[in-house]
């Protein structure tokens, strides 16, 4: 829905290309910085940081990208927060997926990374299809009319759905993570130690 936002809300369709460039540059920085951040703090802290950056970026874009008078410098400054958070979150969730492979081996004795990562690929494709469907539904819900000047209500609806609702969803996901995801700290390191002992025993046998 970014293209609709830049075209009808900010009224600077050309900013869409700039957003892609900023996303690539800042995202690359996030990917490079992830190992250092995870070692200095922890992967849990990095994931929490990513969620905070995502929320700050979304809320920032909501408030500063409201019309054609929006400042390009200010807008892409807050957009950079979102891009950085998105990159850190992407790496974090991939690492979490790898951790679940270790946990599965710990619980069942069977290491099934092929199944886990193949299912993950399927869910990404399925999620993309669902996202496209939801995007179309949102456009219909806010009263979007193709190739026309949008009403103030439609513009506000686009902004609320893209930024406010997305920020709320990210906070819900963060709460679920903090409550249910346990593969962190000493618990996870103990799992790795146990797996190492099992593998060493098997090699000796």
What is the model's pLDDT at position 159? 87
List Cα–Cα distances, 74 to 28, 58, 156, 164, 168, in angstroms: 21, 13, 20, 19, 23
- Residue 149 DSSP one-character state: P
Mean pLDDT score of the chain: 89
* Furthest-apart CA atoms within the chain: distance in Å: 74
Residue-wise pLDDT for 111-158, tens only, equals 888 888 888 888 988 988 998 888 888 888 888 888 788 888 888 888
Per the structure, the count of domains in the chain is: 1
Mean pLDDT of 3-21: 84
- 49: nearest Cα among 63, 37, 60: 37
Under the banding of pLDDT at 50, 70 and 90, the label for residue 67 is low
Mean pLDDT of 34-51: 95
What is the model's pLDDT at position 54? 96
Which CATH number does the domain housing residue 91 bear? 1.20.1250.20
- Of the candidate ranges 65-69, 82-86, 194-198, 200-204, the one whose mean pLDDT is the lowest: 65-69
Q: Quick one: residue 122, left, alpha or beta (phi over 0 = left, psi -120 to 50 = alpha)?
A: alpha
Phi, psi of 168 (to 5 degrees): -65, -40
What is the model's pLDDT at position 68? 66
Torsion of CA 8, 158, 148, 72, to 10 degrees: 0
CA atoms within 13 A on the CB side of 134: 10
What is the model's pLDDT at position 13? 83
Kindly report the number of other CB atoms within 10 A of residue 79's CB atom.
22
Domain region containing 35: 2-204
Which residues lie below 8 Å from residue 60, measured CB to CB, with a gap of 6+?
Answer: 77, 78, 79, 81, 82
Percent of the chain with pLDDT over 90: 51
Residue showing tokens 């807050």: 78
Mean pLDDT of 60-72: 80
Q: Is the pTM of this model over 0.75?
A: yes
């Amino acid at each position: 829905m970014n293209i609709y936002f830049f075209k009808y809300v900010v009224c600077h369709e050309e900013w869409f290309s700039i957003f892609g460039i900023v996303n690539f540059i800042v995202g690359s920085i996030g990917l490079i910085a992830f190992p250092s951040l995870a070692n200095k703090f922890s992967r849990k802290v990095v994931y929490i940081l990513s969620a905070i950056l995502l929320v700050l970026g979304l809320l920032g874009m909501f408030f500063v990208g409201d019309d054609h008078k929006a400042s390009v410098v200010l807008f892409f400054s807050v957009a950079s927060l979102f891009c950085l958070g998105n990159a850190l979150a992407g790496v974090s969730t991939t690492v979490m997926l790898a951790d679940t492979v270790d946990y599965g081996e710990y619980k069942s004795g069977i290491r099934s990374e092929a199944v886990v990562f193949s299912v993950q690929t399927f869910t990404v494709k399925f999620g993309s299809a669902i996202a496209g469907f939801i995007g179309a539904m949102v456009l219909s819900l806010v009263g979007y009319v193709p190739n026309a000047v949008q009403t103030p209500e439609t513009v506000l609806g686009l902004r609320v759905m893209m930024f406010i609702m997305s920020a709320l969803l990210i906070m819900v996901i963060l709460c679920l993570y903090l409550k249910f995801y346990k593969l962190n700290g000493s618990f996870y390191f103990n799992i790795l130690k146990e797996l190492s002992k099992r593998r060493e025993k098997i090699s000796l046998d």
